Structure 1
Amino acid sequence: MQQTYLNLFDKDRSRKIPLSVYLPEMKDVNNIPVFIFNPSYQTQEELGKSNVVFKCNNYKYLANYFTGNGYAFVAMQHEMLGDNDGLEVIDSSLPQNEARKHLYQRGMENILFVINELKRHFPKLKTDKFILGGHSNGGDIAKYYANHYPKTVSNLILLDARRCFIKPKLNLRILMFEAPDSSTDIGVLPDEGTKDNPKRKNLEWVIVKPKNATHSGYSDSYIPTEVRKQVINTIEWFLK
């Protein structure tokens, strides 16, 4: 596995986007499939520490699996020090699908910018259609992006992404891991509708809840060995 770190800057939005790109050990190969991953939320307190490690560097167990199977694994950082509109100031009593929409919108714009930069820096990557995923708020960003650009997403892989609704009539395959210490908001999983108006006709949605998982425990820092094995084995089954 080859890792490249890029500190991207979107001039139009005056926005830094740190990016970790993990490439498979393959030479002279074109159209390398891509998994674009959005990590969980990182607080201003964490970002202000002198020894801060960005969350985009905290999912190497996924990077190892995907690069070992011929994929490029791309993880981007969404939160930056100085952001004043994050989860710390969002009213938790409000419907979170709406209250967090500005974070999802910014995340979607980050993804669009990163895709264009990948085309420039890594022309051998297949970026017209890719696996998209994320953990917690990052997974919600992935769903929000898929709502707007579904034709660019081959599969969604979500790690306890509990807030953002998915449009029920999208033609998507979704693998979602939950955790026993959290609950998915009502409305995130679309209802089936009626016989005359089936709302989930084209959605293939698989939900797995490992018994020893926790909401925060899907990153390198906290994931138990047995949960990591279950996540990898389930992803392998899902992508066959």
Structure 2
Amino acid sequence: MKLAFIAPLYLVLIFCFAPSVKAQTTQPTYQVKEDSMLLWDKTRNRSIPVEIYLPNTTQIKHPQLVIISHGYNNNREGTYKYYSSIANCLAAHGYFVASIQHELETDSLVPSIGKPYVVRMSNWVRGTENILFVINDLKKTHKQLDYKHVTLIGHSNGGDMSMLFAHKYPDMIDKVISLDNRRMPMPVVKHPHIYSLRSSDQPADEGVIPSPELQKHMGITIVKLPNTIHNDMADNATEAQRKEINNYLLTFLNDETNN
């Protein structure tokens, strides 16, 4: 059940670069419509703010759904809107993007002491429940979307909960793309397809990233960004960093080699 629409619908025009490896089949770009929703999960007595970005076109009958999960930001309100450069670029290329606010100001803060895999697990589990609820709600309200090719994109802590979702609900998604998740081990599977962009400054915990041999065998794609640090993977990135990240994201979304 939706509590309310809390922002008016408006249009923005987004310019972003398509991946160079796909230049010969570059997708057209569209104007982007943006809207805000506040969903209510009555089973958990919890509100879920969601920002929606979608292409303003009738040419795409069944756009693919992309879910964005933000990095941890001490429960600050509005963190889910810090990835608008990514969301707008993907929507401009024909994807329906939903960015979820996972932490509320009333939530307990993530513990700073203890093994991250242990003390953050409840946060990740809650995040997977948020993602699951949003997907199921959209299936009721946006039946035209392509739910056979759902992609999760998550930065840092949001990447960890996205990887956990891939462990728990592999049949619900087609691809998972992490922007530097560091704690939750990536599923060592061929489906859903696993991709990750890695920062230049913060390594993942042991066991998070599969060995090169397993990456090759399972078709897992790991790319290091030598000029981008962990904290510069959101809207605070430079123009050059944004272009590089968006190029890779579009490349991964267009990747059909494992299908």
TM-score, normalised via structure 2 length: 0.79
**1:139 pairs with 2:154:** no
Alignment of 1:1-240 (within 5 A): 1-27=32-58, 29-44=60-75, 46-47=76-77, 54-84=78-108, 86-87=109-110, 89-91=111-113, 93-94=114-115, 96-191=116-211, 203-220=218-235, 222-238=236-252, 239-240=254-255
Deviations 1:138-165 (A, max 9, x none): 0111000001111222111111111101
Measure the CA separation in 1 of the matches of 2:186 and 2:250.
Answer: 23
| Gaps in structure 1 of 5+ consecutive residues | 48-53, 194-198
Matched to 1:224, the amino acid is T
Measure the CA separation in 2 of the matches of 1:17 and 1:227.
Answer: 29
| Gaps in structure 2 of 5+ consecutive residues | 1-31
Measure the CA separation in 2 of the matches of 1:132 and 1:125.
Answer: 15
Measure the CA separation in 1 of the matches of 2:190 and 2:112.
Answer: 29
Greater strand share, structure number = 2
Q: Secondary structure at the match of 2:154?
A: strand
Deviation of 1:192 after TM superposition, in Å, equals 6.6
21-30 or 74-83, larger mean C-alpha shift: 21-30
Identical pairs, percent: 30
Measure the CA separation in 2 of the matches of 1:28 and 1:16.
Answer: 33
56-65 or 75-84, larger mean C-alpha shift: 56-65
Do the aligned partners of residues 28 and 206 (structure 1) sit closer, same or farther apart at CA in structure 2, a change above 3 Å counting? closer
Matched to 2:125, the amino acid is Q
Q: Secondary structure at the match of 1:140?
A: helix
Measure the CA separation in 2 of the matches of 1:115 and 1:38.
Answer: 13
Matched to 1:8, the amino acid is L
Deviation of 1:233 after TM superposition, in Å, equals 1.9
Deviation of 1:170 after TM superposition, in Å, equals 4.9
| 8 Å contact from structure 1 (residues 171, 202) kept in 2 | no
Q: Secondary structure at the match of 2:231?
A: coil
Q: Which runs of 4+ in 1 moved over 3 A?
A: 199-202
Give the paired residue count.
223
Two-structure CA RMSD over aligned residues (Å): 2.0
Matched to 1:231, the amino acid is I
Do the aligned partners of residues 169 and 116 (structure 1) sit closer, same or farther apart at CA in structure 2, a change above 3 Å counting? closer
Matched to 2:170, the amino acid is P
Measure the CA separation in 2 of the matches of 1:120 and 1:203.
Answer: 34
Do the aligned partners of residues 224 and 129 (structure 1) sit closer, same or farther apart at CA in structure 2, a change above 3 Å counting? same
5-14 or 146-155, larger mean C-alpha shift: 146-155
